[in-house]
A and B are shown apart, each in its own frame.
Chain A
């Protein structure tokens, strides 16, 4: 038998955990995409050394598990003198992780902008920064927006792992509750559904945001 009513008394725990997960998600999504944009720009238009550094960063992150990255940052870095709280370590790990994936995605977007566009901007007298922000970024992001936002959702779901360094997120709450009332199945099921709701909600939010960001297509 399933007893979901046993979970009701823990609704406060779940709510505050939900808040933690959402806060971290919003923060790391913004930071990660900014990091990815910078790295992708360097990778696409930067000098040889810059490109090399970005490549190494991207490949290292994409080819190792997030949980190991998290443990390295949380347990490993203090050993060389960098103390971090669980929350800080999680935020850094998530940002670095999303940064690497979004670098790849955004770079594909940048690569899809034709040379002609860039040359036209040059002829018009725009400098490099203006060309980037006015001519390249918007169509490039529009092209990769679906891939980028799915990646953000994947990273949000991956954040479940930060419970392992005692950040009090949704997964932490699930573990806590099931250890108190021994209703593991119900507790995890409810938490899984909360994550599902969160990912559906995020998708809606991203779609709505996308409509606004790329409104120039439909207006006029």
Chain B
């Protein structure tokens, strides 16, 4: 059996943290992109489009992220679509992230007074012009704090990728645990690293929220 010094443990964990960060970034970018598309679909006021978005949100908010990962990983490959753990993790985290972001953003857009749409319309702005010049600039200001706050959920969500065998922070933690039999130390360290990733984002989100509430 190989001996692991504290230094080895930490080095391995920190190395794995890079993958957690990378996966988080990929999922966040993917999730934002899909959520933007879904938000646009919702804003068209086309009933069919809106129904699609509603079902999408219901489906991915109403089932466990872990189950979505299993379906993407084992399910898709069984159906003949070969997919890596990395691909399955990104795919399912993108579904998860977008389903929550589209709802968060909906709340932000809906808090804008109806008068903003009406005034724009009366000035002759088209739907897209209203969106671009009036609605989005205001909605983005409102949405930044909760979106940053949600990025914490994305980082924590990446931990589930360990279950389908993607080697990130949690997976390396369990592997080190199996090798060293020092679960208390290892999982404390793993938790601390996650905390150091997430807590600054939580604080930043709170700070943004305060700043926004003062400014209005």
Residues of B within 8 A of A182 (CB): 78
CB pair B67–A191 under 8 Å, yes or no, is yes
Alpha-carbon separation in the docked complex, A200 to B59 (Å): 11
CB pair A195–B159 under 8 Å, yes or no, is no
- Is B190 an interface residue, CB under 8 A from the partner? yes
Among B74, B152, B155, B163, point to the contact of A164 (Cβ < 8 A): B163
CB pair A188–B194 under 8 Å, yes or no, is no
How many A residues touch the partner, as a band? Answer: 35 or more
CB-CB under 8 A for A65 and B194, given A59-B199, A160-B66, A164-B163: yes
- Is A205 an interface residue, CB under 8 A from the partner? no
- Is B140 an interface residue, CB under 8 A from the partner? no
- Is B6 an interface residue, CB under 8 A from the partner? no
Closest to A70 in B: B187
- Is A145 an interface residue, CB under 8 A from the partner? no
Alpha-carbon separation in the docked complex, A164 to B159 (Å): 13
CB pair B62–A195 under 8 Å, yes or no, is yes
Residues of B within 8 A of A118 (CB): none
Among B64, B78, B157, B199, point to the contact of A195 (Cβ < 8 A): B64
What distance in Å separates the Cβ of B68 from its nearest Cβ neighbour in chain A? 7
CB-CB under 8 A for A64 and B63, given A72-B188, A76-B183, A184-B74: no
- Is A140 an interface residue, CB under 8 A from the partner? no
What distance in Å separates the Cβ of A124 from its nearest Cβ neighbour in chain B? 33
Alpha-carbon separation in the docked complex, A79 to B160 (Å): 24
CB pair A79–B195 under 8 Å, yes or no, is no
Closest A-B pairs by Cβ, 8 of them: A65-B159, A160-B64, A75-B183, A63-B198, A185-B75, A184-B74, A65-B156, A72-B187
State the A residues within 8 Å of B (CB).
59-60, 62-69, 71-72, 75-80, 157-161, 163-164, 171, 174-175, 178, 182-185, 188-189, 191-193, 195-196, 199-200
Q: What are 18 contact pairs spanning A and B, CB under 8 A?
A: A59-B199, A62-B198, A64-B194, A65-B160, A67-B170, A68-B159, A72-B191, A75-B183, A76-B187, A78-B183, A79-B182, A157-B64, A161-B163, A164-B163, A185-B75, A185-B76, A196-B63, A199-B62
